Structures are given as C-alpha cells and as structure tokens.
Structure 1
Amino acid sequence: MKKIKFMFLVGTILLAMFMFTGCGSTTVDLNKYMTIEVTGYDSRGTAKYTFDRKSFIEDYSDKIKINSKKSSDTASLGLMLGMSPAELLLDSCVKYELDKSKELSNGDVVTLKWNCEDNLTKENFNVKLKYSDIKHKVSELKEVDKFNPFDYVEVSFSGISPNVKVTITPNYEQPEMQYISFSADKDSRLKNGDTITVTALISKSNEEKLAEKFGKIPGVTKKEYTVESLPYYVTKVDEIPSDTMDKIISHGESVFRSYVERKWAKPENLIDVEYIGNYFLVDKNPWWISSYTELYMVYKISAVNPEPEQPIEFYYYVCYSDITASADGTCTVNFDDCKVPQDGLFTSESFKVGKYKYMGYETLDALFNNCIVPKINKYEYTSTIKNAEQ
C-alpha cells in the first residue's frame, strides 16, 4: 500500500514538472469564443464579429504559459507590457477576418476565416490551436422597400476634354434625398471616354430614419457615368479638317500683310508670303494654367529691302492657342487671340537690314531655337516643315 502511495506521489510531481517546464501541451478551441452578428436591412446589412477576449483570458490565465527556454524574447515582452501569456498569445498568434461585411442580404453566407500562427503558438506557448472557418447564413435583416436614389440625381459634365469637371445635383425636393449625399471617385481632369463612379452615401442613423419615416431605403448605392460628346482640345494637326486649316493659313497670311501695310515704309516691296508648315505643341501635363496647345504657322517671306536695295528672305509665324473640336469634328479657332513676333523688354524677334527693321527671323533655325526649344521640357512638339534641320 505504501508503495502504491509513493508511486502516485512521484507521478503527480512528474506531471507538475511536465506542465510547468514547457513539455506539455494545451489545446485551445478558438471557435467557442467567436460570434458573428449581422444588423441592418435586407441588401444593406452589415456584419461584425466579436471575440470574447475576457472569457478567453479568464479560462486560460492559469493554463497557458510561456516556454521561457525557447522564447525568452516573448517572456521579456510580456513582462515589459504587463500582459499575461494568454493575452500575448491572442495578440501575436491569432488573426481573423470576414470574407465580406457590407451590402449583405438575407440568404448570403458570411465566413470568418482564421489566420493563425500555429507553429509559433506551439513553440512559444506549448499550445495547440483548434479552429475552423465559421459560416453564418444571413437571415435576421429587416425587410423594407427599396428605391433608386439616382432617379433623383443629375450628373453633368462641363469643360473641354481632357479638363472636364463633374457636377452632382441631387433633387432635394424629393424628401428621401435629404438623408443622402453623393460623391464621385473622380470629379475633375476628365476626358472623353473616362468613366466615373458616383456613390450614394448614407449613415446608419439616416438609414434608420428613412426606414422608419418612409418605409424604404436605397436599393442601389453606386452608378457609373461616362464622359462623352464634349468639346476637346485638338492634339494633332491631323485632327484639324482641311477647310479649317485653309482658313488658318489664310488668316495667318492676312495678319502678316496687315502688319506690312501698317509698319513698312514701302509695303509694295513685299513680293511673296509662302506658308511652309507648322510646329504643333501639346502640353505634357494637361492640368495647365497657360495654353494647353500652340500651333505655330510658319511663313517664308520674300521682299526687297529699300536701302541698300537687295532681295531678302526671312521667316514669320502666327501662333494660335487651344484649338478645340466638337463631337462632330468641327473646329473652333480663336482668330482674335493669335500671337506674332514682337520685341519686348527682354526679348527681340526682329532684325535689321541697313536701317530697316523687320519682325521675324532671318533663318528657320533661329525661329525654332527661340520659339520651340525653350518649351521642349513642357511641351511635346511635331513639325510639318520639310527640310528643317531640327
């Protein structure tokens, strides 16, 4: 009998040593501490999870120990933060999330998925985690009528592509709309072909008010709109119809001839004005303050200088900014706001032959280097001028 009692005592001591030296293992069932709740209205339900942390810690405060031999860092961290081993295990090894949590309807299935550090848990705490995905079939949402808030909203676009803005105008005479606001995922710097998503925003409290007061809630919360058929900035010379280009060429020539009539001592000395091509500049960053596009129409001028009397040739430009086109391709050019060579305080776009001054450039290279090269960092450019060295 004494021998049996002795063996029982030895077994008890060995068991205690086994448990407190990290050689034992505790199994923890995580699922029993997790609950999923879905609230709200059918099609607008929201799911949330609750892990009963308090009960877990109470249940395992004396059962979970840190394996100090293998995880001195974990033990030190627990001491530093004043956390029990059970709390450390939860914070460092147990993670979870719902596969979906919003816009839920009765009949939907919500799944909570665990993402736990099994090996770390076993190594640091001598704990085996027991868990499985938790599925919750939604059935508790209240049934209410639905309405489409976008039936009472006007979404309009204004501006010139690619600098179009969106305006959202709700009809607040519709009483339900007092509880809803709207936002767009992008509301400016739009171009033809862009699609935006407008979202109807409603708080939970306002949704409750709608349901109580009108017996309905929004059934749709997002709608897409496409920018289309708006005027756009021409970004290629080929986009300018031939009849419009003829008008631009003719206008540029008339601008130069008008200058000759007003400024030359002997306008009759003008021999020829020949259009030789253009430089077309497009801003690399379309969110501009100055011109987005510039079309430099270049003319070769032939004339006779009075004194000393000699033939001369030089180059003149007329620049048109921001040519636009409508959906049908019809172009609009602001002929009243064109730019021509001029002398300023810090710039000179003229030269002299004898005592006679001419606005323009003696060579095509000089025109290019003065008008185009300084803008190359800001603008992309193309040229239709043949035999140009640039």
Structure 2
Amino acid sequence: MICPNCNKEIKDDSKFCIFCGANVQSQSNAGNDVQNNAQSVQPQVNTPQYNQPQQSVSAQSQNPQFQPNNFQPAGVNQGVPVQPAMPKKPMNKKLLFGIIGGACALLIIIIVSLVLVANHKTKINLSDYIKVSYDGYDAYGTASAEFDYDKYLDDLTKASSSFKKAYDSDITWSSIADYYDAVDIDYDLDKTSGLSNGDTVTVNFEYDNDAAAQYKIEYVGESKEYTVEGLKETKKIDPFEGVTVEFSGTSPNVYAKVVNNSKDEVYEHIYYDLSKSYDIKIGDTITVTVSNDPEYFVEDYGCVFTSTTKDFKCTAVDQYVSKTADIKEDTLNAMKKQTEDVINAYFAGENKYIGVPDLKFEGTYFLYAKDENGWNWDGNNQIYIIYSGKVKSVEDKKAFDETTVYFPVRFTDIMQYADGTQNVDLNNTSISGETNLEYHYRNVDGYTNKGDMYKELVESQKADYTEEITDGLK
C-alpha cells in the first residue's frame, strides 16, 4: 500500500508508516470516506471521446481494468484528488526525554521489586511458641517455660520452601544437623522458684538470624515479661510453738536437746538442729534451726514457717563456781569450819609433841580450770582455805623454837545448783605441804614460808588453772 502522508510504498497491513511515522490506518479510513463522498458529488468532466473497439461482455467482465470507466487521468485517484506529500515534523525533545525518563523509572521500580521479593524474609515471632506455667504455693511457687517445637518446625516449613526442602529430605533430626544453627533456639526464665502471686518472670531468647537468613527467615524474640498467678494459698505457722530446749548436766559440761510439746500433728514432721548440744556452760546461747526445707515442707503440708531459727539461753542448770565472789557465805563458812577441824584434829593427834594455841584465817587460793570442757583430775575448781598459827614443841627437850606455820586445806568442785543452792564435798580433806620443823622423827605439816606455799600450790598449776589470790598470800 502507499502511505497517504509521504506517498511511499509500505506493507498492506501496516498501522504506521516506517518512513514518516504517520498513522496509515486512520488516514486510510479517512481517505476512503473522502473518496465515497467525492463520488457522490463528483462534477462532470469533459473528456475526449475515443472510438473504442467493441468488446464482448465476457471480455469486459474478465478484464475490468480495461473498461473505460476505470481509466483515470493523471493526478486523479478514484475520483479524489491526490494529496501532496506533507513535510516531516520534528519530534518534541521534552516529550522524548519524558518517555525515556518514565521508562527508566519503570525499570528501576521493576528491579527494586525483584530485589525486595528476592530478599524478603518471613518473620517468626518466638513468643508465639512459649508457654509459661506456674505451680506450688504462694511465696514458694515455681515457674517453667515450654517451647512448642512441633508448631515451630511446622511454621518454618510453611514459611520457607528452602527449609522445607532441606527438612523433608529426611524426617530425622540427624538429617538437619547442617541446619542446626538456623533452627536452634535457646530460651530461659530469669526466675524459676520462690515466686509469689503477682511477681513477674522474664523469658529471654537466643537465636542466630544470620544462620536463619539462608532460608529467608528472620526471628523476632525480644524479652517478654509474664505475671505469676494461680499459686495456692498457704497456712503460716510458728515452728517453735510449744518447743523448748532442755539443758542437763553441770556447767560447763551441759547437754541440750529439743523438746516438742505441740499437739498439732504437723509439728511431728518438723525437725530441728542445735548450734551446740554439749559442752555448754551457763549463760551460753543456743540457736535452734528448723532443718526442714521450707519449700518442700510447703509442698507437702501447705504450711509456711514464720521463722526458721530461735535462740535459747542456758540458765537454770547446775554449775561449777568460777570465781571467789560467787562462793556464798554459808559455803565459805562451811569450808572454813572444816579447815579448822582438820587442823585441830591434826594437832590433837600429835599433842604429846607439838601444839598450836591459836589459829588465824589468812585467806584463800582459788583456782578455776582453763579447759572447762576437759577432764580435770584435780577438779573444775579448787580452793585452798588457809589458816596460820604459832606452832611450838611440847616435849621435855624442845625440838624447835616457836614458829608461824601456814596450814592450807584444799576443797574441789564447789557447785551451785539450778535452784541457787551450793554444795562442796567436805570429806577427804587434809593439810597440804610439809615444813622443816622436826619432832619425834616427823615434820610439822604446812608451810613456814608463804612464797614456797604459793609456788607449790598455785604457780605449779598455772598451765591448767587461772588464779584468784587473797592479798598478802603470795
């Protein structure tokens, strides 16, 4: 066909001219309309007449192009004047740049969309798989967290085709060892015991999003708080109600044991420990502690202890007197009386040879054992009641001149009972020491020198005893 704009030959089915860009189809349709209109109003044209040879009708029908009516003078196309060729119109540069820019923007949008689709990651919220449970009694409750691995793995296979392909290759855990870092989730609770209703516990997660990225998965697992609720109520009890400590023995060798006088059956299941159960002296404080685990006890009996320790003081027990000031006056008088009797009995037995007209009380040596809990052969305490007198020889021929002699008599284990009374063994006593005063082949009992008496009776025992000495007796 001929382009109606530039008059160049183009393909019959072309919509646009390849030479000038004109819309051939629309112009062709418009041309046809003009042609039809022109035929209806075509003016008469005087054309020269030629004598044409007669042709048969059949020949004319077979060759219509040779019919006279089909002949057109030059410059006439089917009765319509031929349009002259239009000059080529230059394209608008702004329009061209707009078209190019729009195409580039569209290309960028397409590329970005493809990248986003390629890098898109499905988010997996780990909190959706956690269930926190509480059990036990208020103040002693426990918390535990459970992770739904079945649902978690099922969601992973739905979210990621690459993961599903890897996981379905073999339905055993060993088969996905290579993907362990991607699917391994660690979680923990910050508190799991000793909980009360209203407390909060926090679940923390650990995961590897870098490893999960190979399956286009991204984990979301921020720390999340849960409020403790539903713990059972407890009954509060005093574990020391009706409980006493029984002390027995003599201070400082007292024994202690717990005595439970409670009638409540739950107390039968409470056990106690003592900070000290023997070698106790009066004035010591013993701490009794509940040995049951409070958590287990509340689980078994639903009871909470209001306290787990209590102090008991050792007071009302027998004790050895530990200092001179604690010796009661009647006890001291009894020992002095016994000392006088011992001295007088001694001289009465030797009255043929020696005599002492008067006795004078000089004071005491008091010794107390340093190792209160040890075994002391010489007693836990010792006291020497010391008298003096001028001893003279009564023989016809005097054996020695009148001399002052000190007579110490020892008593041991002076005890004060729990009721406040005191006791001391007054038997088996005698005068300690021996002088250089000779009579009838013997020496007078006692000491003529206070220094020697102190050395032998006190200083020799300093390793085992502390001392209290009456002034003037050293």
What is the TM-score of this pair, normalised by structure 2? 0.49
2:389 aligned with 1:304: no
Map 1:343-382; keep pairs closer than 5 Å: 349=434, 351-354=436-439, 355-382=441-468
Letter matched to residue 308 of structure 1: A
Change in 2 beyond 3 A, CA 1:223/1:204: closer
How far apart are 1:237 and its partner, in Å? 1.6
Alignment counterpart, residue 242 of structure 1, candidates 329, 338, 346: 329
Map 1:1-390; keep pairs closer than 5 Å: 40-43=136-139, 45=140, 106=197, 141-170=231-260, 175-203=265-293, 207=297, 210-211=300-301, 216=303, 218-262=305-349, 264=350, 266=352, 269-290=355-376, 291-305=379-393, 306=395, 307-308=398-399, 310-326=401-417, 330-336=421-427, 338=429, 340-341=431-432, 349=434, 351-354=436-439, 355-386=441-472, 388=473, 390=474
Indicate the structure (1 or 2) with the bigger Cα radius of gyration. Answer: 2
8 Å CA contact 2:241, 2:262 repeated in 1: no
Change in 2 beyond 3 A, CA 1:40/1:311: farther
8 Å CA contact 1:152, 1:174 repeated in 2: no
Task: For residues 153-190 of structure 1, give each alpha carbon's deviation from its aligned partner in whole angstroms, at most 9, with x where no partner exists.
Answer: 33212233343321113359854344322111222333
Residue number in structure 1 paired with 2:214: none
Change in 2 beyond 3 A, CA 1:201/1:315: same
Distance 1:337 1:174 in 2: 54
8 Å CA contact 1:171, 1:177 repeated in 2: no
Letter matched to residue 470 of structure 2: T
Distance 2:274 2:233 in 1: 29
Residue number in structure 1 paired with 2:162: none
Structure with more relative contact order (C-alpha pairs < 8 Å, separation 6 or more): 1
Distance 1:261 1:135 in 2: 98
Count matched residues.
278
How far apart are 1:272 and its partner, in Å? 2.1
CA RMSD of aligned residues (A): 4.3
Change in 2 beyond 3 A, CA 1:314/1:189: same
What is the TM-score of this pair, normalised by structure 1? 0.58
Letter matched to residue 353 of structure 1: E
8 Å CA contact 1:278, 1:385 repeated in 2: no
Task: For residues 13-35 of structure 1, give each alpha carbon's deviation from its aligned partner in whole angstroms, at most 9, with x where no partner exists.
Answer: xxxxxxxxxxxxxxxxxxxxxxx
The DSSP-based 3-state class of the residue aligned with 2:358 is strand
Letter matched to residue 254 of structure 2: V
Change in 2 beyond 3 A, CA 1:141/1:209: closer
Letter matched to residue 358 of structure 1: V
Change in 2 beyond 3 A, CA 1:242/1:170: closer
Change in 2 beyond 3 A, CA 1:204/1:383: closer
Distance 2:246 2:289 in 1: 15
Distance 1:297 1:184 in 2: 41
Change in 2 beyond 3 A, CA 1:47/1:299: farther
Distance 2:274 2:231 in 1: 29
8 Å CA contact 2:137, 2:299 repeated in 1: no
8 Å CA contact 2:234, 2:298 repeated in 1: no
Change in 2 beyond 3 A, CA 1:373/1:171: same
How far apart are 1:138 and its partner, in Å? 6.2
Unaligned runs of 5+ in 2: 1-131, 146-189, 203-223
Letter matched to residue 41 of structure 1: Y
